Structure 1
Amino acid sequence: MSGAQPWGFTDDRGTEPGAARVPERVVAYVRAGAALLDLGVRPVAVYGSGHDGPGYDPAKAGGLEAAGVPYLGPGRALDEGVLRELRPDLVVDVTYDGKSPYALDEAVADRLGVPLVALSVGNELTLPEILGRFGALGASLRAGAPVTGDPSAAGPSAGPSAGPSAGSAVGPAGVAEAEAVLRGVAGRTGLAVLALSGAGPDQVHLARPQAWPELARLAALGVRLLDPGPGPGANWLTADWGRVAELGPDLILFDNRFHAVPPYETPPGTRLAAWNPETPPSPAAYARFFRELAEALAA
């Protein structure tokens, strides 16, 4: 990649940052950075969210740590001097509301004079659309072609120029294959699945399936996801562990991020499978998740 071509990209806030050449020094939110690495774009550094600590969360790191990509700590507490020394020419974050970057104050990028791209991971887009948006961004950073972003177009598999992480050669076809496997297993077993995030011995957050693009995708593939029922909370219903027993899941998808806690109480015979609500939005990461869930359902 020569970097001599002008570059542009329209993000999911409608912002249209551009540059005289293709950005080569990308700093990203860890979820976005792990996806970009899978897509063949190696960030120079990544940062976390307010849930993250001073070191990598293994559930969220993807291939970043193994690839030697530095982690700078939570985005809202970034040392701007350290960030300036990295000489970034693009910041990539995610957005849940289509208005603001999630993990970094946009004023930081403004002070550095660096464009910021924020891609949606909320439920206003389907999972295939989200994967397509990240694929389009990755393609623009590899090839330098100005992209306005067609959310229906999934990006190509990782190119050789940026050192993709292990498994990054998985493209849309690999996701389709994994989905076909999962669809078949879900149809045969018919097991009831509950997604949750543990908050302690007396509290648990139960996911509302249609509020999460990947859970909505699982439902579309025939996975029988349990809804926690009425109550406050758009994404989660907060309850006690007794509610889990009342719902009677056959399999629990538990949040395996560092800040969540393992399930305290599960109905006898209930299976467990890990779920990262911040899975990197790349074909490789989701193909792996779908296959792991298929294995858990079939066990």
Structure 2
Amino acid sequence: MRSISALSRRGFLTGVAALGATATLASCGYREDSESQGTGGGQAGGTWQYTDSRGRVLDGPRPERIVAQVAAAAALWEFGLRPVGIFGPSRLPDGSPDPEVGAVDLDTVTSLGNVWGEFNYDAYIGLRPDLLVSIMYTEDSLWYVPEEQADQIEKAAPTVGVDVGFVSMLDGIAKFRELAKALGADVDAEPVRAARSGFEEIDARFEEAVGALGDKRVLLVSATQDNFYVGKAAGFPSAKHFTERGMTIVEPEQTTDGAYWEALSWENAGKYEADVILYDSRAENLQGEELAGFPTWNQLPAVQAGRTIGWNPAIPFSYHSFGSQLSSITKALTQLT
């Protein structure tokens, strides 16, 4: 199992690790934001300057040995950067790659931990990191950095946090494009242009499929043995993109689990009316026959009409990965209309 907590089961929740105190920053090569002259690019082996989402300014020799949370690693990988280490969910229980790693070649990187709360600090030091990169869903909290190790990790090498909470998928990709450029990547290289062009073609087809849905209402769902969760579209980069393309997503009245989900008992699974259900397809959530074992699931109109589609809320910020998801959802939507 990837996770033992509600936090990592659904991925976008509160309680993530806090970073070290400001007093630590001077020893890690940071400068105060007021000293910043902006971000910059350059060639590999040169210098860099970058201001992360926390307002921390990093400059000096450009980092070469990067360790990244898997979602960040996947995003940077598409722009040609190759982290030496990763942490966070990278392999499924059967050993196959987790969708969250995108195109990262798992045979060429060192995994420091595959589940929530797992970070091999000794292995991290052994990688001689110049920089750690992670996404953030809450202010000043690096995703999958264990709270009890945060100070240690912060002192070992500078860290960059990229805030992706409540941003659309394309805005998230743009943030990683900026970081990759600062790290010396050629963000307009032919493979990047090809990935973007392919995504744009898929996105256009997706928008057409959404248009054909008309006024049909879509519900975002994540299911466990204990609860039936209804998602808030704005909290998920992919779902926010869906709404930007015209999809009507039912909004929960309140979010009881962080700012992302309303937790309902299975008895109340029918609280919201919907014509289509996008259900959380990550391995730790209920799927297929498991869902069919709940009578209230079978009673939902969308389920009875066969209008359920798998959706991974944690798809990485990558044209290729998100395009693949959009292509799958587009095919399913087309079959519904």
Into which bin does the TM-score normalised by the smaller protein fall? 0.7 to 0.9
Contact 2:85 2:110 in 1 (8 A): yes
Gaps of 5+ in 2: 1-41, 292-296
Q: Any conservation in 1 of the 2:210–2:333 contact (CA below 8 Å)?
A: yes
Contact 2:136-2:164 at 8 Å conserved across structures:
yes
TM-aligned CA distance change 1:110 to 1:210, over 3 Å: closer
Match of 1:148 in 2: none
For residue 136 of structure 1, what is the amino acid of its counterpart? Answer: E
Query: Within 2, Cα distance between the matches of 1:6 and 1:111?
Result: 21
SS of residue in 1 equivalent to 2:201: helix
- Structure 1 position 90 matched with structure 2 position 131: yes
Inter-partner Cα distance in structure 1 for 2:254 and 2:85: 41
Deviation sequence 1:139-166 (CA, Å, 0-9, x none)? 222349xxxxxxxxxx53576xxxx9xx
Pick from 284, 287, 302 the counterpart of residue 259 of structure 1: 284
Distance in 2 of aligned mates of 1:178 and 1:117 = 31
Partner of 1:239: 264
CA distance in 1 between partners of 2:276 and 2:198 (Å): 25
Deviation sequence 1:186-208 (CA, Å, 0-9, x none)? 111234322111111x4111101
Q: Answer yes or no: is the 8 Å Cα contact 2:255–2:261 preserved in 1.
A: no
Deviations 1:100-152 (A, max 9, x none): 2121154233331x1111101101x33322110011112222349xxxxxxxx
Within the candidate set 186, 189, 201, 1:177 is matched to 201
Deviation at 1:242, TM superposition (A): 4.9
Name the counterpart of 1:15: 56
Q: Aligned pair in 2 of structure 1 residues 216, 186: CA closer, same or farther (>3 Å)?
A: same
- The CA distance in 1 between the partners of 2:174 and 2:327, in whole Å, is 20
Q: Is this contact kept in 1: 2:43–2:184, CA < 8 A?
A: no
Correspondence for 1:225 among 249, 255, 272: 249
Identical amino acids, percent of aligned pairs: 25
Q: Aligned pair in 2 of structure 1 residues 111, 239: CA closer, same or farther (>3 Å)?
A: same
Structure 2 residue identity aligned to 1:42: R
Q: CA deviation at 1:72?
A: 1.8
Displacement of 1:92 in angstroms is 0.6
Distance in structure 1 (CA, Å) of the matches to 2:274 and 2:136? 31
Pair 258,231 (structure 1): closer, same or farther in 2 beyond 3 Å: closer
Partner of 2:123, secondary structure, is: helix
1:246 deviation in Å?
A: 4.7
Partner of 1:204: 228
Name the structure 1 match of 2:68: 28
1:169/1:284 contact within 8 Å kept: no
Over alpha carbons, which structure has the higher Rg?
2
C-alpha contact (below 8 Å) 2:136/2:143 kept by paired residues: yes
CA distance in 2 between counterparts of 1:117 and 1:34 reads: 15
Alignment RMSD (CA, Å)? 2.8
TM-score (norm 2): 0.72
| Partner residue in 2 for 1:250 | 275
TM-score (norm 1): 0.81
SS in 1 for 2:112: strand
